[in-house]
Amino acid sequence: MMNHIQRILVFLLLTTPLPNQANELAVTENLHIRSLAASCAACHGTNGNTTHPDNKAPSSKATLAGMDKDHFIKQINAFISGERKSTVMHHHAKGLSVDEIAMLAAFFTEQKPQASSKLQHQALEANHD
């Protein structure tokens, strides 16, 4: 039988919003996942939109935006097991938790595929350092 304090604790647990938990908020608003997913941008572009969308080779820096959730999870697990050969992705995949993999899959599938802005090189100006 729960005492009074335990009842209050259970009540608080059930009613306090947990903004960092995937089941409380849309995954795109999950703080933990938004910054982790943003970390992938160095190779996969902002929100999973790569600058090289035509690059469809199996080990390319793939477009993650809009990728099927199950496909994403399957690929990450194949990197971990070694079933899918990779140069670098196994080093990342092995560092992620099962929950993080699932939430990253949900995050990227929600992202809208879009072309990235075209970046133009410039001639270095004389007064630059």
Q: Is 77 in the site for other proteins (CB under 8 A)?
A: no
Given a contact cutoff of 8 angstroms between Cβ atoms, the answer to whether 28 and 95 are in contact is: no
In whole angstroms, how far apart are CA 48 and each of 7, 16, 33, 37? 44, 32, 13, 8
What are the DSSP E strand ranges found in the chain?
Answer: none
Q: How many whole angstroms separate alpha carbon 111 and alpha carbon 62?
A: 14
Q: Is 124 in the site for other proteins (CB under 8 A)?
A: yes
Q: Is 60 in the site for other proteins (CB under 8 A)?
A: yes
Instruction: By CB under 8 A, name the one of 43, 73, 78, 101 that touches other proteins.
Output: 43
At closest approach, how far in Å is the CB of 84 from other proteins? 15
Instruction: By CB under 8 A, name the one of 10, 19, 68, 81 that touches other proteins.
Output: 19
3-state secondary structure of 90: helix
Instruction: By CB under 8 A, name the one of 70, 81, 94, 98 that touches other proteins.
Output: 94
Nearest of 80, 81, 98, 89 to residue 58 by alpha carbon: 89
Given a contact cutoff of 8 angstroms between Cβ atoms, the answer to whether 66 and 111 are in contact is: yes
Nearer to other proteins, 10 or 38 (CB): 38
Nearer to other proteins, 5 or 124 (CB): 124
Which residues in this chain contact other proteins in the complex, by CB under 8 A? 19-20, 31-32, 34-36, 38-46, 50-52, 55, 59-61, 80, 87-88, 90-96, 100, 116-117, 119-125, 128-129
